[in-house]
Amino acid sequence: MINLFSTEKANQEKEVFEKLLQLPQIHIEKITSNGQTSSQWYESEKDELVVLIEGEGKLLFSNKEELHLKKGEHIYLPKMKKHKVIYTSSPTIWLAIHFL
């Protein structure tokens, strides 16, 4: 069982991805960041709901719009919405729900 608030597996060097559920129509994962950012753009082939469980994070979109998420906030990202992470506090815990 994975505790959503636990940072025991946190790694200062890289993000930690923990699979919570994997089914054909939905994939749920917990991501723990410690200051990591994205150098590449992400474009998921599935819709995504991202919930910030702990900490803060900033997303940058291809249209140069920035979104600052704080603990408890969420965003829906439609499939192929080009984005990257440009800031995370230490630690930041994300819940990412990918679905068709």
The per-residue pLDDT for 33 is 95
Residue 81 clears pLDDT 90, i.e. is over it: yes
Greatest CA separation found in the chain? 39
> For all residues of the chain together, what is the average pLDDT?
95
Q: Are 34 and 85 spatial neighbours (Cβ–Cβ below 8 Å)? A: no
Q: Residue 10 is encoded by which pair of tokens?
A: 């946190």
Which amino acid does the sequence have at 100?
Answer: L
**Span 6-41, pLDDT tens digits:** 887 777 788 999 999 999 999 999 999 999 999 999
Structural domains of the chain ordered from first start: 16-99 (2.60.120.10)
Compute the average pLDDT of residues 65-84: 98
Angstrom distance (rounded) from CA 4 to CA 44: 23
